[in-house]
Amino acid sequence: MTLIYFILILGIVVFIHEFGHFLFAKRAGIYVYEFSIGMGPRLFKFNRKKKVKNKKGKITYVPDETDYSIRLLPIGGYVQMAGEEVEADEKIPEDQRLQSKPWIARFMTMVAGVLFNFLLAIVLLFLIGVFNDVTLDSTKLTEIDPQLYPTLKEGDRILKVGGKRINNYDKLALELTVQGDKEFTMEVRHANDKKETVTVMPKAVNDEEGNLLGYEYGFKVDGDTYHSLWGAIRFAFGKFFSMIEQMFFTILYLCTGKLSLNMLSGPVGIYNVVGSASEQGFLSLVSLLAMISVNVGFINILPLPAFDGGHALFLIIEKIKGSPVSPKVENTIHNIGFILLMILMVYITYHDILRFF
């Protein structure tokens, strides 16, 4: 079942992302060659029928120009549009090519996949809040070891870890990961609003074979539990923005060396996480789907070659300079970025295999 869940989760995330590009491309009147879920060899394709009304008002159904494809590897997908290539396809009318469309239509087509990923995550988080109790403000201390922290009480709130501000559980988890096994300071606020700084010494937790499982800190955290429509709305948007913040600082810490590339997970790592989530129940899988959707959206909006954000960046440069960037130059940069991305994927997958197998 883990494999089925894995394919479904990645398939849904990719489908929603590519459907965003596809929908805005179609609305802009851009000719779309292919809408593909998955990469690699094509397993099958189909063409849907679309309505065409002639001058006399008669409606007929003709094959849509777009090939709808399912490909072998469930690790991505794409929408292939006329006008993305260096050499113009003369078989396609000029007014149906990407370059002929207004700037805002091209920009929205490029970022629509990210917007749809974010929208999917918010909807899923809201549904979790509707059908389940949700916990907000999860930075309150509970189950405190009095020998380690004699002055702390349950209900005290964590404000900072290692000098970094904490306002949600996702940021707390990230900052604790950054600290690793090093001793660090933690600032808390007591019930009387007084603040105190305490020293935390993480204790490593290993499995029977000596592999590191994580760290113990001598306390746990919790928050206030709600089950209401307003609580579901607060949870959906609060959790969404905390995930965005966590992704931002994760990328920042990777760039500054505070986190290792080995912390990243590729398809193999995601497969293992899906397996763990499936053991915890359906809502855990839905929560994981929301998290992956946010991650995919955030990574794609980064202004880097081969990502949606890279394409959007070239459109912004075009807007600033008043003329398009050379298609040959842009495609070369994106191709180089794609090659580097594939190298990174191989590196991450290699370390995933070493970690889990």
pTM score, two decimals? 0.87
Alpha carbon distance 74, 4 (integer Å): 11
The pLDDT, as a whole number, for residue 357 is: 65
DSSP for 142-197? ES--TTT-TT--TT-EEEEETTEE--SHHHHHHHHHHHTTS-EEEEEE-TTS-EEE
Closest CA to 24 of 84, 107, 120: 107
The pLDDT, as a whole number, for residue 356 is: 67
DSSP for 67-125? EEEEEEEEEEEEEEETT-SSS--TTS-GGGSGGGS-HHHHHHHHHHHHHHHHHHHHHHH
Pairing mode of beta strands 59-63, 49-53:
antiparallel
Alpha carbon distance 168, 45 (integer Å): 45
The pLDDT, as a whole number, for residue 255 is: 87
Token readout for 345 is: 């994927």
Pairing mode of beta strands 195-200, 184-189:
antiparallel
The parts of the chain modelled with pLDDT lower than 50 are none
Residues noted as catalytic: 18
Residue 146: CB atoms within 10 Å: 10
List residues bridging with 184 in a β-sheet.
200
User: Which fold does the domain 137-225 belong to in CATH?
Assistant: Pdz3 Domain (2.30.42)
Token readout for 118 is: 């974010």
The pLDDT, as a whole number, for residue 166 is: 93
The pLDDT, as a whole number, for residue 198 is: 95
What residue spans define the domains of the chain?
2-127+295-356, 137-225
The pLDDT, as a whole number, for residue 194 is: 94
Closest CA to 212 of 169, 164, 263, 160: 263
Give the three-class secondary structure for 275: helix
The pLDDT, as a whole number, for residue 347 is: 82
- Cα 191 versus chain centre, distance: 36
The answer to whether the CB of 171 falls within 8 A of the CB of 249 is yes
Tokens 């990174």 appear where? Answer: 344
The answer to whether the CB of 226 falls within 8 A of the CB of 126 is no
